[in-house]
Amino acid sequence: MARALALLFLLQHKEGAELAAAAQMVEQMNQLYAAGQYAEAEALGERVLAIREQALGPKSPEVAQAATKLALICQKRGQLDRAEALHRRALAIRQAALGPRHADVADSLHNLGALYLLEGAPDRAEPLLKQALAIREQALGPLHAEVAHTLHNLALVEKMRGAYERAEPLQKRALEILEAARGPDHPEVMSVVNNLANLYDAMGALDRAQPLYERALKTRERLLGPSHPDVAMSLNNLAALYERQNAYDRALPLLERALTIREQALGPRHPEVAQTLTNLAGVYTYKHDFARAEPLFLRAIAIREAAAGKDHPSLVGPLGNLATMYVEQGLAERAVPPAERALAILERTLGADHPQVSDLLAPLAIAEVNRGHIERATALLGRALASAEQLAGRVRLVSTEARMTAFFEAQQQTFDMLFSLAAARPADSALRRLALATALLRKGRTIDQAADLSRAVRQGLKPSDRARFDELRTLRSRLASLTLSGPGRLEPERYRDTLDRLARDAEFIEQELAQRSALLRAQRQLPGPDDVVARVADQLPGEGALIELVAFVRYDFAARKWAELHYLGLVLAHDGTVGAADLGPAGALDPSVSRLLAALRRPDGDAMPAARELERRLLAPLARHLAGRRALLVSPDGVLHLIPLDVLHDGQQYLIDRYAVSYLTSGRDLLRADQAKSAASAVLVADPAFGGAGAPAAERALSDWLAPLPGTRQEAEAIRALLPRARLLRGHAATEPALLGLEAPGILHVATHGLFLEDSAPAPHTRGLNLAPDPAAPAPKSPLLRSALVLADARLAPPAADAQLDADRPDGLATALEMAGMNLWGTQLVVLSACDSARGEIRMGQGVYGLRRALIIAGAQTVVTSLWRLDDQVTRDLMIGYYRGLLGGQGRAQAMRTAALEVRRTHPAPYFWAPFLVIGQTGPLKLR
C-alpha cells in the first residue's frame, strides 16, 4: 500500500512537472507564432497537446485549448484538413464539458467558421459564425473584441458572396469595436483594416482602399518587424492595388519583397506564396515579359492544387490570369482551357452570379473572337454584362456617387471590348442589341445614383434623415464658398486641409444616408440586359428614334492591344429595331467638334464648313437608320455633349429643318416615372442686384465683373405676362438662399450671369462671367464647383483666420454642387437662361459634370441650358417665343425648335438661335 501511494505521488509529481513544462512551451509557441515561425511553433504545439492528453485525459478543456492553438498554426502552414479535424475535436470537447452557450464554445465555432472561409465555403461558415456571435454577445457583451472578430468574419462571408452592401457595415462595426477595445494600432485591428481595404478594393473604391492598405503596412512593420508574414500580406495587397492603377513599377518591388518574406517564413509551397507569385506574374504579363510570367503562374497553380485540391476557388485567380497572359500573346487555343476551368470552379463553389465571373468572361471572350467564334464571344460578353449589373445593383444601395463612379471605372475595359466588337461588326444583330443594352444600362449611372439618393431623402425618409440631408447641403455650401473665395489669410496647407475636411464630412453623411435609404431604393430596380432595349423602345414616339452615341477605348483584336478613343453610333426605333455604325476614331471626329464650337461661339463665326464636316462624320453613317423619323432623342458622349446637333448641315438644310432634337443622359431616362406638378406653379429668377452697397471693398470685388442685364428683366416680365400666377424674384430678392430653398415649382426659370471657372473673358452684352481663381488656391477637386449662377449681392469674401464660414451668410454664387441639393422632384421644367450653363467637365459615359447634371440630380424633369455666351437681347426674344410655344401646347423640345426658327429669320447666325439644349422629357407641359 505504501509503495502504491509512493508511486502515485511520483506519477502526480511527474505529471505536474510535465504540465508546468507544457505551460512554458505554450509561451514559447505563442512567441514563435507571433514572429511568424510557424514550423517551430507547430512542433511545440504537438508536444503540448500530447502532454495534456496524457496528463489530463483526452476530453479535458485544456486539451481543447491545445488543439485549437495547434489548428491555428496548421492553418498558417496551409494544412487545412488537419486544422479542421483539430477545430472539430476542440468544439466537441468544449460542448460536452462546458455546455453549448459557453464563451469557449463560441471560440471553437468561430474558428471553424473562419477555416471554412479559407476553404472558400461561405455557406458552411455562416451558420457557425452566427451561432458564435449570439453566444459572444450574450456572454461577453456587444462591445467585446471577440464580438468584433466574429463580425469581421461575417463580413468576409458577405464579401465572398459579392454582397458588398451587407459586408461593409459589418466590417466597419467590427473595426469600431476593436479599435475601442484594443487601441488603434493593435495587430488585430490591422487585420480588420486590411480586410476593409480589400472590400473597398473589390468595390472599385481604390481611393478608399489605398490609405487603409498603407496604414496596415506601416503599423505592421513597426509592431512586427520588416520580415513578418503579415507585413508580406500588406505588401502584397498594396502592390495588387498598384497593379489595378497600372502603376506596375511601384508594384514590382513590393511583390518581390513580399515573396522573399513569405518563402523564408512559410516555406516555398505555402498558399500565401502562391498569392504573391500570381500577382508578380500579373505584373510581368502587363510588361509583356511572358517568359518570366508563365512559370510563376504554373508554380502558383501547382501550390494551390497541392494545398487545397484541384477544385478550390483559390485557383480561380492564377488560372484566370494565366488565360489573360495567353490572350496577350495571341495564343487563343491555350487561353480557353484555363479560363473555362477557372469559370467552372467559380460557378461550382461560389455560384454563377459571383462578382469574379465577369472578370473571367472578358479574356475568354477575346480568345473566342480570335478563334473566330463570334457568337460564343457575344454570349460571354452578354453574361458579363448581366453579372456586372447584378453586382452594380447591390453596390448602389450602400454607395455614394463617388464610389459608384470608381466601381464602373473598374469594369470599363470589359464593356469597351464589347463596343469594340460591335463597331467592328455593325451588321451583327446580336452584337448591336447587346451593345445598345450596355449603353442603356451604363451611361449616366452615376447621375442616377445621386438622384436616387436625393429622391429617397426627399420623398421617403424620416424627418431626421431630411435634417441630415440639410446638413449635407450646408457642408457643400461651405465647401463651395471656401473654394471660390480662395485661401485669403489662411496658410495654404491649412486651407487645403479645411477643404479636404469639408469634403470628407460631406462624403460621410452621403454614405450614411445611402445606407439608411437602401431598403427604399431597392424597390426601384432597373430592367435587366435582356429586356431594357424593348422597355425603352416602348417609350419612344412612333416617328422618333433614339441615338445613343458611345465613346470608348477601342480594343484591337488583331494586334491584341488597346488602341485609340473611338465612337460608336446606335439607333433604336419604336418597333425595337436596332441600327449601328462605326463613327471612327475620336482623333478624326473631335477636331471637327472643336472647329464647329469655335465658330458657333462668335456672332460672326462661319460655322458652315465645320457643320457640314460633322454632318458627314456623325450623322451620315446613321442616315439609313433615321429614314422616316421626325424626332431625334440623342444621348451624346465625350465632346459631343458640347455641340447642338441642330446646326449640322447636309449641304441643303440644317438638321433643325429636318428633325426636332432633344437630349438625354441615356435612353434609360425614358423609363422614369412622371411625377411632375402642374406648371401653374412657376418661379422666375431674373435681374439680380449685384454688389451690396454697404459691403466691404474686398467683398465687392466681384461686382467689377457684373454688368447689369436689362434683357433678363424684360425676359422675366414678358414670361410673367404669359404666366400671371408666376412668382418673380428680382433685384435684391433674387438671392442664393431664395433659389436654393425653392420647393419643387412646376417651372423654374433663372435668367442671370453664368459662371464657368478658368474660361476666357466674357464678351460685352452677354450673360457670361469669368472668374479667375486665386493662384494660391488648388483647382477644385469637384467639377461641380467650377460652374455657378450669379445671384444678388454676389461676393468673394476671403475666409477669416479661423476659416469658420457662416452658413447663414451666402456668397451669392449658386454652384452646381449646391444646386444638386435642391428639391426639384415634381418640377417639369428648369430653364437656365445664362451663359455656359451646359458646360462642365466631361467624363466618358457619365456626361457633363456641371449645372445640367446638378439639376437632374435634384429631380428636374427637363433642363434647358446653354452652350456658349448668350446675347442678352436676342436671348430675351428666343425665351419669350419658347414660352409661347409651350403655352400653346407644343412639346418642350418642339417649342424650342419653333422659337429657334423664328429667331433665325432675323439673326441667321447659329450663335443666336442654337445655344440651348433641351435635356430630358420632351412632351408638352402639364398646364392647369
State pLDDT tens for residues 613-626: 999 999 999 999 99
The alpha helices in 517-650, defined as continuous H runs, are: 518-522, 532-539, 586-600, 608-614
CB atoms within 10 A of CB 526: 17
pLDDT at 859: 92
pLDDT at 351: 77
pLDDT at 705: 55
pLDDT band of 127, cuts 50, 70, 90: very high
pLDDT band of 64, cuts 50, 70, 90: confident
pLDDT at 524 over 80: no
pLDDT at 412: 87
| Mean pLDDT confidence for 471-491 | 81
Nearest to 407 by CA among 418, 395, 417: 395
Question: What average pLDDT does the structure give for the chain?
Answer: 86
What's 423's DSSP letter?
H
Look up residue 39 and give its three cell numbers.
514550423
Percent of the residues in the chain that have a pLDDT greater than 70, as a whole number: 91
pLDDT at 710: 80
Contact status, residue 653 vs residue 877, Cβ threshold 8 Å:
no
pLDDT at 912 over 50: yes
pLDDT at 461: 80
pLDDT band of 765, cuts 50, 70, 90: very low
- Strand-pair category, 754-757 with 768-771: parallel
| Residues 572-597: tens digit of each pLDDT | 999 999 999 999 999 999 999 999 99
pLDDT at 771: 47
The alpha helices in 183-289, defined as continuous H runs, are: 187-203, 206-224, 229-244, 248-266, 271-286
- Top pLDDT among 603 and 762 is at 603
Q: How many CA atoms lie within 13 A of 576 on its CB side?
A: 9
pLDDT band of 696, cuts 50, 70, 90: very low
What's 921's DSSP letter?
-
pLDDT at 679: 62
Contact status, residue 587 vs residue 564, Cβ threshold 8 Å:
yes
pLDDT band of 275, cuts 50, 70, 90: very high
Residue 926: alpha-carbon gap to chain centroid:
36
| Mean pLDDT confidence for 134-157 | 93
pLDDT band of 916, cuts 50, 70, 90: very high
pLDDT at 113: 92
Q: Identify which of 1-5, 307-311, 889-893 has the greatest average pLDDT.
A: 889-893
The maximal CA–CA distance of the chain, rounded, in angstroms, is 129
Contact status, residue 113 vs residue 133, Cβ threshold 8 Å:
no
Using CA atoms, how far apart are residues 291 and 294, in angstroms rounded to an integer? 6
Using CA atoms, how far apart are residues 536 and 443, in angstroms rounded to an integer? 14
Q: For residue 330, is it left (φ>0), alpha (ψ between -120 and 50) or beta?
A: left
| Mean pLDDT confidence for 666-694 | 77
**How does 749-779 read in b/e, with b if 16+ C-beta sit within 10 Å?**
bbbbbbbbbebeebeeebbbbbbebbeebee
pLDDT at 428 over 60: yes
| Mean pLDDT confidence for 494-503 | 84
pLDDT at 678: 61
Q: What does the H/E/C string look like for 278-339? A: HHHHHHHHHCCCHHHHHHHHHHHHHHHHHHHCCCCHHHHHHHHHHHHHHHHCCCHHHHHHHH
| Mean pLDDT confidence for 881-907 | 95
